[in-house]
């Protein structure tokens, strides 16, 4: 499956892209039973963004592949990082219960030398009441 990109429309700015992929499936390599997960992809692009239709088709291509949760999460992240070369990327895979155990795998990539800007918390500046 070929992943595609498009040029980042605002490469001068750090901005956060959040995607939720609720229908990820692969097969358990031990039992061949299906494993289901919800994937959360968060990234700050550099020069390229991932194209959504190609991402959807790429994710669906795992449906009949055997993979351990840890391996498949890291493989997807590696493929996306290689393709887009983002400033930052995090893939969180929340696998549904299997054998009484939920598995969450979080894998991250950070571009060498890139540091996030400080978070601005607008809720910390609550206006003072004018009542006396």
- Whether 67 and 27 have beta carbons less than 8 Å apart is answered as yes
**Given the residues 14, 28, 46, 79, the one annotated as active site:** 28
Distances (CA, A) of 38 to 60, 122, 127: 13, 30, 39
Confirm whether 35 is a catalytic residue: yes
CA pair distance 122, 100, nearest whole angstrom: 41
**Given the residues 14, 26, 35, 46, the one annotated as active site:** 35
Sign of CA dihedral 56, 76, 24, 8: negative
Query: Which are the catalytic amino acids?
Result: 28, 35
């Amino acid at each position: 499956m070929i992943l595609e990109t498009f040029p980042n429309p605002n490469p001068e700015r750090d901005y956060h892209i959040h995607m939720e992929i609720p229908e990820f499936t692969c097969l358990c390599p031990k039992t061949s039973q299906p494993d289901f997960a919800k994937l959360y992809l968060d990234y700050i692009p550099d020069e390229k963004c991932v194209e959504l239709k190609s991402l959807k088709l790429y994710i669906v291509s795992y449906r009949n592949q055997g993979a351990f949760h840890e391996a498949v999460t890291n493989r997807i992240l590696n493929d996306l990082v290689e393709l887009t070369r983002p400033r930052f990327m995090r893939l969180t895979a929340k696998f549904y219960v299997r054998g009484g155990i939920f598995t969450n795998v979080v894998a991250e990539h950070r571009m060498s030398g890139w540091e996030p800007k400080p978070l601005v918390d607008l809720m910390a500046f609550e206006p003072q009441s004018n009542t006396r």
